[in-house]
Amino acid sequence: MDFAWTAKEQAFRQEIRDFLRKELPSDWLQRAGDDDESARDEFERGFAQKLGERGWLTCAWPKEYGGLGWSPMEQMIFNEEMALHKAPRKYMGNAISLAGPVIMIHGTEEQKRRHLPKIARAEVIWCQLFSEPNAGSDLASLQTFAEDKGDYFQLNGQKVWTSQGMESHWGILLARTDKDLPKHKGISYFLLDLALPGITRRPIVNMADVVHFGEFFFDNVRVPRDCLVGEKNKGWYLATTTLNFERSGIKVTVPAMQLFDEVLGLAKTGINGYRPIEHNPALRMKLADMAIQLQTSRMLSYKVGWMQNAGKIPSYESSIARLFATELTQRLTQLCMEVLGHWGELTHESRLTALRGKVQKLYRGQRAITIGSGTSEIQRNTIAMRGLGLPRG
């Protein structure tokens, strides 16, 4: 692995930084209104549209589909700078990395014309409707059923743990279309308009009092046949071969590094007159060890980006980077609570709170980070089988 940035990559990073410093003030969250969802959404949409005007919103898409054809390393640099500047990503998630690629690769020309321009202009938010109450890590066990009625499919079932589910306009959906075939072979892939009659969605409030997930109920929903992607009963293969443009884990690592720097600063200067690292060598050792682990996580992310840039296909390396980054984030929030002590438990309403109550909120919210996009156990299985050549247990 080459640790040196090329002159082109350095200039590229500087271009992104200059743009973000101009268009994204460091206090944009306060300007947009922390508690004003409509004001925040308006700001995030406007910011995404500025990215779209430069082609950066779909920067990693192939040029023939309106993208810039950026290299994997350029995309990772872009994602790192976006994370460093705490840039909003509402219109850059599922639509760009999941829905767009599957439409480009497997969609019809009509599906491409209908959806890709709107995604590129930040006009729609997409969600992923895969997980069910009894189908998470074993996704092929899903039971949501789409009965073929000729011109349409009649959809019944339930989806859960859907990120951005409450604010999405469209969803990519996996549903069973043949109950007699083996579970991996009777699944189809759909583009679902979430405004269709018969769809009910409910918010899921997590233990950090945040609505990040939603659950969906489908009651005889008529899904037009032209919303089917690829062949009927071949949806599983579409789901597993969907192009993933950036799998380095840098979007997890960078916010963790920022949190560490903020808490370390408080540990040095003091919290309400209390200096937690004074006369506490054990805590200083923990902070030093955490700094090392964060840099290790960053290097693991760079390794994945470097492999992709060299034309290699990361396999277990991506699992190593993600596993290390997600479990490290949980260890970090635990350490931050230890550093801040009782002040870390206070919410933003208290005048004595540290970092506006952010740490206690993250501590609760990060419990789920080792579940989504493949649990820690799934990642370890991948590393064991693909990386170490161990037999399937």
Point out the residues that are catalytic. 246
Cα–Cα dist 72/241, whole Å = 18
Q: Residue 222's beta-bridge partner residues?
A: 154
Q: What is the DSSP string of 105-174?
A: HH--HHHHHHHHHHHHTT---EEEE--BTTBSSSGGG---EEEE-SSEEEEEEEEEEEETTTT-SEEEEE
Backbone φ and ψ of 264, nearest 5°: -60, -40
Q: How many CB atoms lie within 10 A of CB 268?
A: 12
Q: What is the DSSP string of 101-120?
A: HHHHHH--HHHHHHHHHHHH
Cα–Cα dist 243/58, whole Å = 14
Q: Which residues lie below 8 Å from residue 342, measured CB to CB, with a gap of 6+?
A: none
Strand, coil or helix: 89: coil
Cα–Cα dist 140/118, whole Å = 30
Q: Which residues lie below 8 Å from residue 242, measured CB to CB, with a gap of 6+?
A: 98, 101, 102, 105
C-beta separation of 58 from 52 below 8 A = yes
Strand, coil or helix: 199: strand
C-beta separation of 192 from 172 below 8 A = yes
Strand, coil or helix: 229: strand
Buried b (16+ CB within 10 A) or exposed e, 121-143: bbeebbbbbbbbeebbeebbebe
